[in-house]
Structure 1
Amino acid sequence: MPASAGFRVQSFPTVLATRSASEQWTGRTASAPRRPPFFRPAVLAVLLLLAACASTPRRDAALWQSPDGVDPSSINAFRIAGRLAVSDGRDGGSASFVWVQRGGRFEFELRQPVSQKTWRLSGDNRGARLEGGEGGTRHAGSAEALLSDVLGWHVPVAALRDWVRGLPHDGTPMESAERDGDGRLHRFSQDGWQVAYTAWREDGALPVRIRARQANYSVRLNIQDWAVARE
């Protein structure tokens, strides 16, 4: 699906520095990286999950606390920050992110490292709103629909809310599930996405490295800061 006219092809380099898929995932240097046909805003909003530069943003200790000892299935409000990398099998990009979830309400924030320009994707089960992109504020019935309509790219935003807690997405059949020696999910499939966990917090309860793949599309999360709401 082509990107909306509000997002021009030439806008992508100002949103996020991109690299070819081979460079993104293997570390090889590309002599002349291509400018992707529809991917430019895809990292802009892809989950507009991203914020800050290389350092982890400071969280308010009055609102958030360490998730040590907390049952992942009981977490209703969380704040995570880190890095996201995405690929469509040919081109890709990466950035930093902050994601705040409170019940059904979410907010993803992205700040481009060079320009420090910020974008926000927010919403709940009634709809989603994208701010900061070219063409002004955009709305859709869901975050998935907004990313698909504006960017022409599918991101399982609703499912990620559960996957980042090391859980299968509620209400969707889970297939080919494998568990590690500690009984945690190691890899499984849902809605056509293959999900794998490659690293966990020191207490072993919550994942910090997550990979989701569907056909040629890939999303990788490296969570550097995990926090849950204080009661």
Structure 2
Amino acid sequence: MPITRRLSLLVLAATLAGCATTSNNVATVGAYRDTIDLDGRLSVNYQKNGNGESLTGSFDWTQRPGNVDVTLTGPLGQTVATISVTPQSATLTQAGRAPITEANIDSLTQRILGWPLPVSGLRDWLQGYAVDAQGQRFSASPARNEVSTQDGWRLRFVEWHDANAAQPVPRVIYATRAASGDIQDLSIRIIVNPAQA
């Protein structure tokens, strides 16, 4: 095989190897990272059985290729739940209770916590990405900060850690959903602290 063709194949192989995919099987773009450590705060409001519900708390997010670990903490610092997601399953553990494992993390959180924590979407959202309603990769920016996702969420990226960066990282995200099972008018406000080194 000629050297120029061999080099072309090596460049092509390297390029393809660099196109990691998310759980949505969509090629990533820009500065997306499979390995991140983040923490921040959440406030959740929704309607259930005609009653308004709200809660606040903090989260710790550890993401590695193929795995996500989340710790949810209440306003007084108590651990509400720990969540571990792999390509095969999702496990949610609450204090004093046996772990519960299912295939789908979003339905598991809704069943156990009473509201859906969109862990599968947050893998992208926390870095300013999403998959839009047409299945296309969306990259948020201060000038292009709203999107509806394929699974029914409406996202607004409100504030940024460095709005002038080539790919800014979101600081405040609003996520809303009209309905999810018996949950109505769900809104989640996410405040993301800077990524840890």
TM class by smaller structure: 0.5 to 0.7
Report the counterpart of residue 111 of structure 1 in structure 2.
Answer: 73
Match of 1:164 in 2: 126
* Residue in 1 that maps onto 2:34: 76
What is the count of residue pairs matched by the alignment? 154
CA distance in 2, matches of 1:163, 1:214: 15
Give ranges in structure 2 of 5+ residues lacking alignment: 1-29, 179-184
Percent identity of the aligned residues?
Answer: 25
Contact 2:140–2:157 (CA under 8 A) maintained in structure 1: no
Instruction: Provide closer, same or farther for how the CA distance between residues 125 and 115 of structure 1 changes in structure 2, counting only shifts above 3 A.
Output: same
**Relative CO higher for 1 or 2, CA cutoff 8 Å, sep ≥ 6?**
1
SS at match of 1:168: strand
| Counterpart in the other structure of 2:46 | 88
Other structure's SS at 1:72 match: coil
Aligned to 1:187: 146
C-alpha deviation, 1:132, in angstroms: 2.7
Encode CA deviations 1:141-200: one digit per residue, 9 max, x unaligned: 12113113324433322111111111123896259998644xxx3101012211001101
Specify the alignment match of 1:226 in structure 2.
195
DSSP 3-state at the match of 2:175: strand
Structure 1 segment 1-231 matched on structure 2, within 5 A: 71-73=30-32, 75-89=33-47, 90-114=52-76, 116-117=78-79, 119-169=81-131, 173=135, 180-181=142-143, 185-190=144-149, 191-202=151-162, 204=165, 205-215=168-178, 216-227=185-196
Higher strand share: 2
Between the aligned partners of 1:78 and 1:177, the Cα distance in structure 2 is 18
CA deviation map 1:20-42 (0-9, x unaligned): xxxxxxxxxxxxxxxxxxxxxxx
Unaligned runs of 5+ in 1: 1-70
Give TM-score scaled by structure 2 length.
0.67
SS in 2 for 1:162: helix
Distance 1:171 1:227, change over 3 A: farther
Residue 147 of structure 1 aligns to a residue whose secondary structure is helix
How high is the TM-score relative to the length of structure 1? 0.58
Q: Aligned to 2:55, what secondary structure does the other structure show? A: strand
- RMSD value, Cα: 2.8
